[in-house]
């Protein structure tokens, strides 16, 4: 059996679903970052696959952009996370409710 | 000459703005002095313009700037000084100069001294715009401006309930009439395509008589409001709540004559529709008699003079309606002089009597107030039309016009009214100045007004005496613009019988008034005498119950209707729908605020829910767009 576009897209969809569930269920900020990374990379998989399928490099280029942005986002996010941990001693989402309306 | 035109027009505005700077500060003498000086400079400019026109100069016309230019509509701020407007300018600037000087003394102790001069000069500016404009739009601006200033000045003592009420009454009645005037202006614009006097009047002879009649009627409705003709007359008597110089300037000499000026100005229109003119004349004669009869029994000094003004306006409309425009304008001028004088004299009396208005409580004031006595007596003689004072030349001329035009009923009414005029004028003079000194009962020590007030009034006195001698000069001047019909009674005998008869009739009315009211038996009426209980007296004293009828049958039903509209329509439909929308917004906010718990995890869940929702919507719409033909087929099969 040859692995075609649909397999990649299915993988991407599964990864995206896992990421979404992670975003919803996780209470730990660090794991939340991991879930977001899964979301972003599921999309990268789809970009790369479709790009290859059409023989157009734009999708792959875009995937690189996403990786770069994801990296910087994680860098900032982790920095904030460490500061938070230093102040409060935990990284539990339920304690971060200073923006209550 | 243009520079004089601009000085005459804008000096009052400068005075008004200058005085307005000090409205919030205590009394400053110089605001009154500077405002007066600026008005006097406007008067001097007007005099120079009058001399120029009298010496045969061409009318001065300027177009200051474009006001509106859209499509075919072109309305400039244009001003013209011709024979008619220069007459009005003279009247307005002269009377307002006198009134300004007089007010410096009259408003001496008033807290609103600076504010008063600001309003008064603003009024003069509006009036100048009204009379000098060369198009109907400018006239309308001035028309509204004088209405506004009249409102401000009637309600000048705004802490008095009655003053604010009277101000509002005047303003609202004038609004009703102004609507008629606006419709008249629209008709003129639609049918002639312009609002410039000269062009509009040039186009009018080519129009249908019916349309012209409607134009005339609607313009006259506007004139009826400003000139307080029946049935819009009640505001003028109530307007006496304002300070007396205001009554003299606005409600006797200038603003109320704006209606007459409008008819005179629109003479090419009214010449084409003589039947409307006849209606105007008949209404004028009716008002002359109607107002004079109310003045017979009134017990308020200023109201008596106000009714007299109303009556004289009726005379002017008779002349204007019968096509004798120059006669109407001449009476307007003469009337402005002696009526303003009468009002200012009444102001002196009011000051002396500590704002007492009932002439029955005065009496014998000729000793302490000699000069006021002389001035008011002469003004009354002029008003009654005794030779050789101003009223004789202008008022008798109106009688002659009615006679020569074979309107004998109008003539009889006007003649009878002339007798009534003489009677009520001298009833007032006799009650105030002659007889026993009844004011002593009320513990008042009257004093004469300031010297400069009396000197300020003297130009009016002189003019009230000699204005008649200008008749021929004036006639030659204005007939360059107005129809030059001379009114001569052909038979010499008839002329002398009429003139002498009128004089005797008027003189006997005066003598009768003196006899009845200048004796020592007059007491303050207490409502017990036989005359006071007669039906005729009550009818006249209550102004034919017209204010009562207006209150009962117009104001109250209107108020009830408004209440119904408020409770049923405004509250239940308009407010309810607006409140309902607000309620929905509030309600959804109240219910959904739980979403904003501030917990990041909950928010993320909502975000995912939103993403899923939007994605599914995108999928549904995408499918619907792709299969739209099939969906349409299914829907039409279901009969949608």
What gap in Å lies between CA B228 and CA B283, rounded to an integer?
12
C-alpha B489/C-alpha B477 separation (Å) is: 23
Distance from CA of B587 to the nearest CA of A (A): 17
How close, in Å, is residue A14 to chain B by CA atoms? 15
* B80 backbone dihedrals φ, ψ, rounded to 5°: -135, 140
B605 vs A contacts (CB less than 8 Å): 24
Any B CB within 8 A of A88 CB: no
DSSP labels, B273-296: -HHHHHHHHHHHHHHHHHHHHHHH
Residues B327-350 pLDDT 10s: 999 999 999 999 999 999 999 988
pLDDT in tens, B271-325: 999 999 999 999 999 999 999 999 888 888 899 999 999 999 999 999 999 988 9
Location of structure tokens 């005797």: B504
Chain A residues closer than 8 Å to B596 by CB:
100-101
pLDDT of residue A99: 62
Domain-wise residue ranges, chain A: 5-96
Per-residue pLDDT reduced to its tens digit, B65-83: 888 888 778 888 889 998 8
CB spacing of A101 vs B601 below 8 angstroms: no
pLDDT reported for residue B594: 79
Fold of the CATH domain A5-96: Helix Hairpins (1.10.287)
CB contact under 8 A, A101 and B593: yes
Cα separation, B383 vs B386, in Å, equals: 8
Token look-up 């819009």 returns: B232
Residues 48-67 (A) with a CB less than 8 A from some CB of B: none
Banded pLDDT at A100 (limits 50, 70, 90): low
Across the interface, of A26, A32, A97, the residue whose CB is closest to B599 is A97
Residue A24 touches partner B, C-beta closer than 8 Å: yes
Residue of chain A whose Cα is closest to the Cα of B592: A101
Burial class (CB in 10 A: 0-12, 13-18, 19+), A96: middle
Q: Give me the half-sphere count of Cα atoms (radius 13 Å) on the Cβ side of residue B216.
A: 28
pTM of the model: 0.79
Q: Which two tokens stand for residue B138?
A: 């400018």
- Give the largest CA-CA distance in chain B: 115
Kindly state whether A96 is in contact with chain B, defined as any CB-CB distance less than 8 angstroms.
yes
User: What is the secondary structure of B64-112 as a DSSP string?
Assistant: EEEEEEETTEEEEEEEEE-HHHHHHHHHHHHHHHHHHHHHHHHTTT-TT
Paired residues of B79 in beta bridges: B62, B133
H or E element: which one contains B74? strand B73-81
Ranges under pLDDT 50 in chain B = none
Other Cβ atoms closer than 10 A to B24: 8
Distance set, CA B295 to CA B307, B412, B416 (Å): 6, 19, 14
ipTM of the complex: 0.81
Interface of B with A (CB under 8 A): 593, 596-601, 604-605, 607-608, 611
- What is the reported pLDDT for B281? 93
Residue B370 CB neighbour total at 10 angstroms: 12
**Residue B255 contacts residue B122 (beta carbons within 8 Å):** no
Question: Is residue B69 classed as helix, strand or coil in its secondary structure?
Answer: strand
At B16 the pLDDT is 93
Written as six digits, the tokens of B139 are 């006239």
Confirm if B416 and B378 have CB atoms less than 8 A apart.
Answer: no
User: Residue A101: which of B596, B604, B608 has the nearest Cβ?
Assistant: B596
Q: What is the pLDDT of residues A56-93, one digit of tens each?
A: 999 999 999 999 999 999 999 999 999 989 988 888 88
Given this model, what pLDDT does residue B593 score?
83
Inspect the interface and report whether the beta carbons of A93 and B600 lie closer than 8 Å.
yes
């Amino acid at each position: 059996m040859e692995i075609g576009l649909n397999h990649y897209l299915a993988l991407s969809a599964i990864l995206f679903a896992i990421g979404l569930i992670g975003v919803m269920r996780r209470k730990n900020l660090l794991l939340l970052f991991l879930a977001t990374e899964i979301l972003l990379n599921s999309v990268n998989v789809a970009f790369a696959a479709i790009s290859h399928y059409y023989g157009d490099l734009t999708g792959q280029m875009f995937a690189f952009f996403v990786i770069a942005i994801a990296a910087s986002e994680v860098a900032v996010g982790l920095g904030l996370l460490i500061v938070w941990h230093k102040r409060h001693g935990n990284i539990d989402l339920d304690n971060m409710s200073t923006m209550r309306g | 000459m243009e520079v004089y035109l601009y000085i005459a027009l804008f000096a009052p505005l400068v005075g008004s703005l200058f005085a307005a700077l000090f409205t919030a500060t205590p009394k400053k003498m110089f605001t009154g002095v500077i405002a007066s000086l600026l008005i006097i400079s406007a008067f001097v400019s007007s005099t120079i313009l009058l001399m120029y026109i009298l010496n045969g100069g061409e009318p001065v016309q300027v177009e200051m700037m474009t006001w509106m230019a859209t499509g075919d509509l072109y309305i400039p701020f244009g001003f013209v000084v011709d024979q008619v407007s220069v007459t009005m300018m003279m009247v307005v600037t002269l009377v307002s100069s006198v009134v300004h000087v007089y007010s410096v003394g009259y408003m001496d102790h008033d807290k609103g001294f600076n504010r008063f001069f600001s309003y008064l000069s603003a009024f003069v500016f509006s009036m100048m715009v009204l009379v000098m404009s060369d198009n109907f739009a400018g006239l309308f601006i001035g028309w509204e401006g004088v209405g506004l200033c009249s409102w401000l000045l009637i309600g000048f003592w705004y802490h008095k309930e009655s003053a604010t009420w009277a101000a509002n009454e005047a303003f609202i009645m004038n609004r009703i009439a102004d609507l008629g005037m606006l419709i008249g202006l629209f008709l003129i614009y639609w049918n002639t395509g312009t609002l410039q006097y000269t062009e509009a009047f040039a186009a009018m002879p080519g129009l249908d008589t019916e349309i012209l009649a409607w134009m005339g009627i609607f313009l006259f409705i506007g004139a009826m409001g400003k000139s307080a003709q029946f049935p819009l007359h009640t505001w003028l008597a109530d307007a006496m709540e304002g300070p007396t110089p205001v009554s003299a300037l606005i409600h006797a000499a200038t603003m109320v004559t704006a209606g007459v000026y409008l008819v005179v100005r629109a003479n090419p229109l009214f010449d084409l529709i003589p039947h409307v003119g006849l209606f105007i004349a008949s209404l004028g004669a009716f008002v002359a008699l109607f107002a004079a009869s109310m003045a017979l029994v009134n017990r308020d000094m200023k109201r008596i003079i106000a009714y007299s003004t109303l009556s004289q306006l009726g005379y002017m409309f008779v002349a204007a309606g019968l096509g004798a425009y120059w006669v109407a304008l001449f009476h307007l001028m003469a009337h402005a002089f002696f009526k303003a004088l009468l009002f200012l004299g009444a102001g002196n009396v009011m000051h002396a009597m500590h704002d007492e208005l009932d002439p029955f409580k005065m009496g014998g004031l000729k000793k302490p107030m000699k000069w006021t006595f002389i001035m008011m007596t002469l003004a009354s003689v002029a008003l009654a039309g005794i030779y050789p004072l101003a009223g004789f030349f202008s008022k008798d001329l109106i009688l002659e016009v009615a006679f020569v035009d074979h309107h004998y009923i109008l003539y009889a009414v006007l003649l009878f009214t002339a007798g009534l005029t003489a009677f009520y004028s001298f009833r007032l003079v006799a009650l105030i100045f002659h007889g026993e000194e009844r004011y002593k009962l009320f513990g008042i020590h009257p004093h004469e007004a300031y010297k400069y007030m009396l000197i300020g009034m003297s130009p009016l006195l002189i003019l009230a005496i000699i204005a008649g001698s200008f008749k021929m000069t004036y006639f030659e001047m204005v007939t360059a613009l107005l129809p030059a019909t001379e009114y001569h009674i052909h038979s010499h005998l008839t002329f002398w019988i009429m003139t002498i008869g009128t004089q005797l009739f008027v003189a006997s009315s005066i003598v009768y008034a003196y006899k009845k009211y200048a004796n020592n038996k007059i007491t303050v009426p207490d409502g017990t005498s036989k005359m006071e209980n007669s039906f005729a007296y009550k009818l006249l004293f209550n102004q034919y119950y017209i204010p009562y009828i207006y209150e009962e049958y117009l104001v109250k039903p209107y108020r009830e209707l408004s209440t119904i509209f408020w409770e049923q329509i405004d509250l239940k439909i308009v407010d309810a729908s607006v409140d309902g929308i607000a309620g929905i917004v509030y309600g959804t906010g109240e219910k959904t605020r739980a979403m904003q718990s501030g917990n990041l995890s909950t928010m993320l869940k909502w975000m995912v829910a939103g993403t899923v929702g939007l994605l599914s919507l995108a999928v549904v719409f995408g499918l619907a767009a792709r299969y739209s033909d099939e969906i349409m087929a299914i829907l039409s099969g279901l009969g949608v």
